[in-house]
Amino acid sequence: MSFVKVYIHYVWSTKNREPLLTNGIRQKVFNHIKENAESKNIHIDFINGYVDHVHCLVSLPDDLSIGKVAQLLKGESSYWVNKNKITKTKFEWQNEYFAVSVDDNNIDAVREYIKNQEEHHKKITFSQEYELFMKRYGFKFLIDEG
């Protein structure tokens, strides 16, 4: 038996950062993502977001890559939203995503950060947050093209 404890903080946005995850929709989508993840043996420790993006703290399984987890969560959830007509228009996630590892000492801080997304985004836009993430973690900042 393998013992793996790797936490990844994922962030991804709606296509073109459309504000489709309104109050009535957001929790349905997040609940579905969490249920779908569990069915695939992916443990989402914490999930939240705002009208145009999602933050997920995931305990990475030993048999899936970071990219595969993102693909499974994003692909299935956009399919589910469209199949169930959760939004009035076609729903898509942006192709790109952000993922960084989280040290054990920072798990609670990341949970708290994810939990407070609505308050956080009263002060800062997702575009500003994204740019800060890119700089903080040393990623080359690219203009996302969908």
In tens, the pLDDT along 10-37 reads: 999 999 999 999 988 999 999 999 999 9
Query: Which pTM value belongs to this model?
Result: 0.89
Topology annotation, domain 7-136:
Alpha-Beta Plaits (3.30.70)
Digit-coded pLDDT (tens) for 109-132:
999 999 999 888 888 888 888 888
The pLDDT of residue 2: 79
42-93 tens-digit pLDDT: 999 999 999 999 999 999 999 999 999 999 999 999 999 999 999 999 999 9
Residue ranges per structural domain of the chain: 7-136
Integer Cα distance of 99 and 8 in angstroms: 6
CA distance 104 to 109: 10
What pLDDT score does 126 carry?
86
Instruction: Please state, for a pLDDT cut of 90, what percent of the chain lies above it.
Output: 75
Which of the two residues, 106 and 142, has the higher pLDDT score?
106
d(CA 39, CA 61) in angstroms, rounded, equals 13
- What is the amino acid identity at position 117? Q
